[in-house]
Amino acid sequence: MITMPFFAMPSAPQFFGELDRTLLLATLAIATIGLVMICSASISFADHSYGDAFYYLKRHLMFLAAGLFVAVVFLAVPSRIWYRYGVPLLFITLLMLVAVLIPGIGRKVNGSQRWIPMGPINLQVSELAKFVVILFMAGYLERHQRQLRMQWQGFVKPVAVLALIVFLLLLEPDFGSAVVMSGTVLGMLFIAGVRLWQFSALLVLGVSGLVGIALMSPYRVQRLVTFLDPWADQYNAGYQLTQSLIAFGRGEWLGVGLGNSVQKLFYLPEAHTDFVFAIYAEEFGLVGVAAVVGLYVLLASRVLHVARKALRRQDWFAAYSCFGIAMMVAGQTFINIGVTSGLLPTKGLTLPFISYGGSSLLVCSAMIALVLRISREMDNAPAVAKQVRRDRAEM
């Protein structure tokens, strides 16, 4: 039975005064940069496509408002609620991952069927799945720590769940989300203390499987070949990457100035979504790139700081959730920046809080708000510790 209030809203000064200000300010700074860049990168494309230069800016503002609402909800709800409802949320997510594959329910864009239309927005189920998997795994690792370390069954169960979700993601297909999710879960299992030989075997098997899947798909093989030498086919398969590299090159040290990008003028496809960082690099240069990377490092380090506080309080669910969120955000950021700069093969992953996309923004807002909630609870350790003991007694 849940003994804590499901929704407890403190006064405004208390609500914001107890939050991790460094994490909050880093998130707000990145989100503000994202808002500015969505406006800059999409203005020409929006004017040409919709006759409204601020079409994407208006929608992004709507998503930001929705993200703020979601964040307030997660800040007001005790973190132990998500521990208790991790399994039901997983089942709902699995049903949605199946539903998105059904013609007439899921929406196909550019050959990928990843979205479920929900009125004015399209829900990308894979984004929701990333967060739900973290919550489920964190709860599982708290309930079965001893079994995970001592018995092979404790290791196989979470791996089977991950394999099922990855299989459904690959049917969409969404290879990038499958890679990020797999890396996050592997990291959480390693931190939880899984046996090294089991972890190594799973790592080798997972990497081999993902490489095999990539090599079986002709368009993924083409992406890999193009990544190795994009200039060999710069007007066809290598077009997007070469245009992104041109944007980085034009940025030099200080950039060409906000709004002065040339590559966003119909040269670089997806300039306001997956490749928005290339436009940012062109307009703000190496100095601006270093500043944004620094903000992401600060954000991830503060999430890990909260995870360490939870470890000291022995709130394993909170600690594993924070570790998972840090790895998810850092991994997705690294992949997106790596893709746009030519370090990694092209993958369709958004840059957290900066790329245009409602589903990504809402999920990222929920994840950071959960970390902020956990941080505040760790500062009020006696009440949280009492609830943790109740949960463990009911296991």
Q: What is the DSSP string of 72-116?
A: HHHHHS-HHHHHHTHHHHHHHHHHHHHHTTSBTTBEEETTEEEEE
Q: Which of 22-31, 224-233, 382-391 bottoms out in mean pLDDT, i.e. has the lowest?
A: 382-391
Buried b / exposed e over 105-142, threshold 16 CB at 10 Å, is ebeeeeebbbbbeeeebbbbbbbbbbbbbbbbbbbbbb
The average pLDDT across 368-395 equals 74
In this structure, is residue 214 part of a structural domain? yes
In this structure, is residue 217 part of a structural domain? yes
In this structure, is residue 10 part of a structural domain? no
**Structural domain range at position 157:** 18-393
The average pLDDT across 147-153 equals 76
The residue ranking higher by pLDDT, 130 or 144, is: 130
Identify the band that residue 285 occupies on the pLDDT scale cut at 50, 70 and 90: very high
Identify the band that residue 391 occupies on the pLDDT scale cut at 50, 70 and 90: low
Using alpha carbons, select from 3, 21, 41, 11 the residue that is nearest to residue 280.
41
- Residue 352 reports pLDDT greater than 60: yes
In this structure, is residue 185 part of a structural domain? yes
- Residue 48 reports pLDDT greater than 50: yes
**DSSP H or E run through 43:** helix 21-50
Identify the band that residue 119 occupies on the pLDDT scale cut at 50, 70 and 90: confident
The average pLDDT across 308-329 equals 95
- Residue 9 reports pLDDT greater than 60: no
In this structure, is residue 13 part of a structural domain? no
Identify the band that residue 4 occupies on the pLDDT scale cut at 50, 70 and 90: very low
| pLDDT, the chain, mean | 87
Q: How far, in Å, CA of 345 to CA of 340, rounded? A: 9
The residue ranking higher by pLDDT, 230 or 293, is: 293
What pTM was estimated for this model as a whole?
Answer: 0.91
Identify the band that residue 389 occupies on the pLDDT scale cut at 50, 70 and 90: low
The average pLDDT across 304-314 equals 94
- Residue 138 reports pLDDT greater than 90: yes
Q: What was the pLDDT predicted at 1?
A: 39
Q: Are 203 and 179 in contact (CB under 8 A)?
A: no
Q: How far, in Å, CA of 300 to CA of 326, rounded? A: 5
The average pLDDT across 15-26 equals 81
In this structure, is residue 317 part of a structural domain? yes
Could you identify the residue written with the tokens 């003028």? 265
In this structure, is residue 315 part of a structural domain? yes
Using alpha carbons, select from 343, 340, 365 the residue that is nearest to residue 352.
365
Q: How far, in Å, CA of 242 to CA of 192, rounded? A: 41
CA angle 368, 372, 376 (to 5 degrees): 170
Identify the band that residue 360 occupies on the pLDDT scale cut at 50, 70 and 90: very high
- Specify the number of domains making up the chain: 1
Q: What was the pLDDT predicted at 388?
A: 58
Using alpha carbons, select from 166, 156, 144 the residue that is nearest to residue 94.
166
In this structure, is residue 169 part of a structural domain? yes
The average pLDDT across 355-361 equals 91
